[in-house]
Amino acid sequence: MSRPRAKMTNNFPGCPVESTLSLLDGKWKGVILYHLITSGTLRFSELQRKLKSVTQRMLTKQLRELEESGIVSRTVFAVVPPRVDYSLTPLGRTLEPVIMALGQWGETHVVCQDGKKYVVMPEEASDLANEEALSAA
């Protein structure tokens, strides 16, 4: 059985990619960061609506880990009902080019159709883009 990435970083202290991935490791962290980058500050319930498949417990866990890493800021307002806002810290903002590059790569190379997801090769991606451009015209 493979060990979680977070436990492996001690074995690769000189590897910045491994260390960075250990901060972003988690099924929902990348998506949470994407929504905070594109939408700005969001309430917990707004994030939950954007991530329809995530449970409240998992979203809370992922947000706490991002907060502990210094990537996300949590602001609690003393009102009834309770209000909690999440936003990117200055450190979190530095991840914007990385997250947006992942999004751009996904738009180019990942196709979701009929409930299935698959990756297309670069030449197929350009053929697909040409077909879409011709059908739109």
| Confidence tier at 123 by pLDDT (50, 70, 90) | confident
pLDDT for the residue numbered 2: 45
Residue 5 maps to a domain: no
24 φ/ψ angles, rounded to the nearest 5 degrees: -100, 0
Q: How confident is the model over 86-113, as a mean pLDDT?
A: 92
Tally the domains of the chain.
1
Amino acid at 104: Q
Amino acid at 30: G
Which residue is listed with tokens 């866990």?
A: 61
Residue 1 maps to a domain: no
Distance CA 93, CA 32 (A): 13
Residue 42 maps to a domain: yes
Residue 7 maps to a domain: no
Residue 112 sits in a domain of what CATH number? 1.10.10.10
Residue 8 maps to a domain: no
Q: How confident is the model over 12-32, as a mean pLDDT?
A: 83
Amino acid at 75: T
3-state secondary structure of 95: coil
